[in-house]
């Protein structure tokens, strides 16, 4: 049986960085993303572009499935609402201009990576906070 590992801050940071890579390689406002790459070459999509697209879909499936299993649908909505209202608060306080589309896009993409990374790490966090064990650990 596999040994259970507590991830700590380092593990969460690694998951967050992987989430950032996934989100920003799929789309970013600078134009250096899979979305822009395929859009520029469409409809002449190459085998390599299709392969990279499938790899991104696999990454998204892993992150979203893990987030849904760990947080549940309600938890995922609550995490999104939490980080969404945090962004709203930052804009409302005047720290970021609401008409600065590039900065808002970067923040939304970063918060998306934070939500899916939280979902990927939540069972470890919950176990630490509550002292409970998962059935995989028994």
The predicted structure's pLDDT at residue 134: 58
Which pLDDT does position 33 carry in this prediction?
92
Q: Do 16 and 113 form a contact (C-beta atoms < 8 A)?
A: yes
Q: pLDDT tens digits for the chain (138 residues)? A: 455 555 677 878 898 999 999 999 999 999 899 999 998 888 888 899 999 999 999 999 998 998 888 888 888 889 889 989 999 999 999 999 989 899 999 999 999 999 888 877 666 666 666 666 656 555
pLDDT at 1: 44
Task: Please give the pLDDT value at position 25.
Answer: 96
pLDDT of residue 125: 63
The residue ranges of every structural domain in the chain are: 8-133
CB 119, CB 15: distance < 8 Å: no
């Amino acid at each position: 049986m596999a040994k259970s590992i507590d991830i700590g801050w380092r593990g969460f940071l690694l998951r967050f960085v992987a989430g950032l890579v996934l989100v920003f390689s799929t789309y970013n406002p600078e134009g250096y993303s899979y979305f822009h790459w395929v859009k520029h070459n469409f409809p002449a999509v190459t085998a390599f572009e299709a392969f990279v697209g499938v790899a991104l879909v696999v990454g998204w499936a892993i992150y979203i499935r893990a987030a849904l299993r760990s947080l549940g649908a309600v938890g995922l909505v609550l995490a999104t609402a939490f980080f969404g209202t945090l962004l709203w608060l930052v804009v409302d306080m005047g720290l970021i201009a609401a008409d600065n589309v590039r900065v808002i896009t970067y923040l939304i993409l970063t918060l998306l990576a934070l939500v899916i990374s939280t979902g990927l790490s939540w069972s470890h966090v919950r176990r630490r906070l509550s002292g409970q064990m998962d059935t995989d650990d028994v």
